[in-house]
Every structure is written in C-alpha cells, then in structure tokens.
C-alpha cells in the first residue's frame, strides 16, 4: 500500500506561538496526506533525516544566535542557537540529495551564522536592515510567474507580518509578494530546485489563524507536495 509523504517540522523560538501553530501546520498538511513529526530539537531532528525516514523537511522556527542586542538576553539560554557543522551537512545534504525543504515565516531568520542557509532557502534576514511593520492586515498577490504552487491563486488578505529588506539568493523568482497597508511589496513566496532537491519558501505564517486561512492552506499543501515531488 502506498503511504503519504513523511514531513519533519523543526520549530520553537520566541515571539511566536509555535507550540500551537506548528501542530496546526501538521494538521493542514495532513489533509493532503502528508504525515508530520514536530520537534524543537533542531540537531536531533536533523540527525533523524538520515536513513530516508522523511521526504520533506519544514523549518518553522526562530532559532538564531541572539547576539548583538541585550533585549534577547533573557531568552539566550533556552533559544539561542548555532547550527553545528554536522547539522549543516545533514540539512544541506538532505536537500541537495533530493529531499524537499519548506521554509516558513521565521525560517528566514534562522541559522544566521551560516551564510549558505540563504543560498539553500533562497533568502535570509539581514540584521540591521531587514524588518517588518507591526502585525496587521497584509495582502499576498501572485506575480506573473507560472508555477503549480500558485496556479489560479487570487490575491488575499490575512493578519500577519510582512517581511521586507531581506536578501534573496541569485536567480530567485518570486511567485507572490506581500504588502502591509501603505507599505512596500516584498517577495513572499518562491520555489526552486537546489541540487537534486526542491525548495519552497513562504514568508507568511505567524500563527495558527494565518496557516489555516483557506487560501494560505492551499499554498501550504501545494508547496509541500511540490517540494517532495507529489505535485
């Protein structure tokens, strides 16, 4: 009997309700037959990729070094993170070797001392430059690019954070932009091949309500299926 794709969700961090939202994400993807395992043990999760147990890796976390600002001092012991050399090799090897990668929302901020993360995911936060206005109504609009993830997609508005002024890797072609009221439109969704693997990045996803928005659900399920070659 054919089984659905297996997905590993790496999560955890500050300022976002990951404890509620990550399982909700697993539920959304489950409707497309994708079985998800959720963990906030980043290194342990990446070690579990070995052996072919998973088809898809989802990074839905806020794990970075937390250096340069004392406002993060109360959180450093629990959440500050630097991906080990072994973890970097496992993550990169999984994707370039043919696995799928789905990076959501704060994935752009993760692993900030690993420059290659931008090239793998397709984009990365730049401290001192990247920013977002306060969470509020934002509108996602598809671009003219043709792709199965956005086929037939219409603009929609949801309460979220519109990330902007981050770095895109060379050759990234946005499939959609996001814009806060009165703000600038920034790339919000892209999909591409990296080595033998497929990568989708989606900068929306602050909380359960955003993940479960009907139009965003469609994007998420399509993105996951495309990344693990089921679409």
**pLDDT per position as a tens digit, 76-111:** 999 999 999 999 999 999 999 999 999 999 999 999
Q: Is residue 209 part of a domain?
A: yes
At 205, the pLDDT band (50, 70, 90 cuts) reads: very high
Average pLDDT in the chain: 97
pLDDT of residue 47: 97
| Interior angle at CA 14, CA 10 and CA 20, nearest 5 | 60
Domain span holding position 116:
6-227
Q: What's the pLDDT score for residue 2? A: 56
Instruction: With respect to residue 149, please indicate whether it lies within any of the assigned structural domains.
Output: yes
- The residue-averaged pLDDT of 11-18 equals 98
Could you tell me if residue 223 is inside a domain?
Answer: yes
Residue 1: pLDDT band (50, 70, 90) is very low
**Within a domain: 124:** yes
Which among 153, 209, 148 is positioned nearest to 178, based on CA atoms?
153
pLDDT at 68 exceeding the cut of 90 = no
Please give the average per-residue pLDDT across 192-197, as a whole number: 98
* Domain CATH code at residue 40: 3.40.50.880
Judge whether 50 lies within some domain. yes
pTM here?
0.97
Give the angle 109-114-120 at the CA atoms, nearest 5°. Answer: 75
Classify residue 184: in a domain, yes or no. Answer: yes
Instruction: Give the pairing of strands 136-142 and 176-180.
Output: antiparallel
Domains of the chain: total? 1
Question: Using one digit for the tens of pLDDT, what is the confidence trace for 161-178?
Answer: 999 999 999 999 999 999
Q: 2 φ, ψ to 5°?
A: -75, 130
Asked whether residue 1 is domain-assigned, the answer is no
Going by the DSSP 8-state scheme, the letter that residue 127 receives in this structure is T
pLDDT band at 132 (very low <50, low <70, confident <90, very high): very high
Angle between helices 214-227 and 18-30 in degrees, nearest 10: 70
Query: Is 40 inside a domain boundary?
Result: yes
- 101 DSSP β-pair partners: 57, 199
């Amino acid at each position: 009997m054919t089984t659905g794709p297996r997905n590993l969700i790496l999560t955890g961090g500050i300022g976002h309700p990951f404890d509620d939202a990550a399982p909700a994400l697993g539920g959304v993807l489950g409707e497309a037959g994708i079985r998800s395992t959720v963990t906030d043990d980043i290194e342990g999760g990446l070690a579990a990729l070995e052996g072919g147990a998973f088809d898809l890796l989802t990074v839905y976390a806020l794990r970075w070094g937390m250096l340069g600002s004392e406002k993060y001092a109360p959180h450093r012991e629990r959440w500050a993170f630097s991906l080990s050399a072994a973890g970097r090799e496992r993550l990169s090897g999984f994707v370039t070797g043919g696995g799928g990668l789905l990076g959501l929302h704060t994935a752009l901020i993760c692993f900030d001392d690993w420059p290659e993360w931008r090239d793998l995911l397709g984009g990365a936060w730049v401290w001192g430059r990247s920013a977002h206005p306060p969470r509020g109504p934002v509108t996602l609009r598809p671009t003219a690019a043709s792709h199965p993830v956005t086929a037939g997609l219409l603009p929609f508005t949801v309460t979220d954070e519109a990330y902007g002024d981050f770095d895109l890797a060379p050759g990234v072609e946005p499939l959609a932009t996001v814009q806060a009221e009165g703000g600038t439109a920034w790339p919000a969704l892209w999909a591409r091949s990296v080595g033998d693997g497929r990568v989708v990045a989606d900068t929306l996803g602050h909380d359960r309500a955003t993940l479960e928005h009907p139009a965003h659900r469609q994007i998420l399920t399509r993105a996951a299926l495309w990344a693990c070659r089921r679409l």
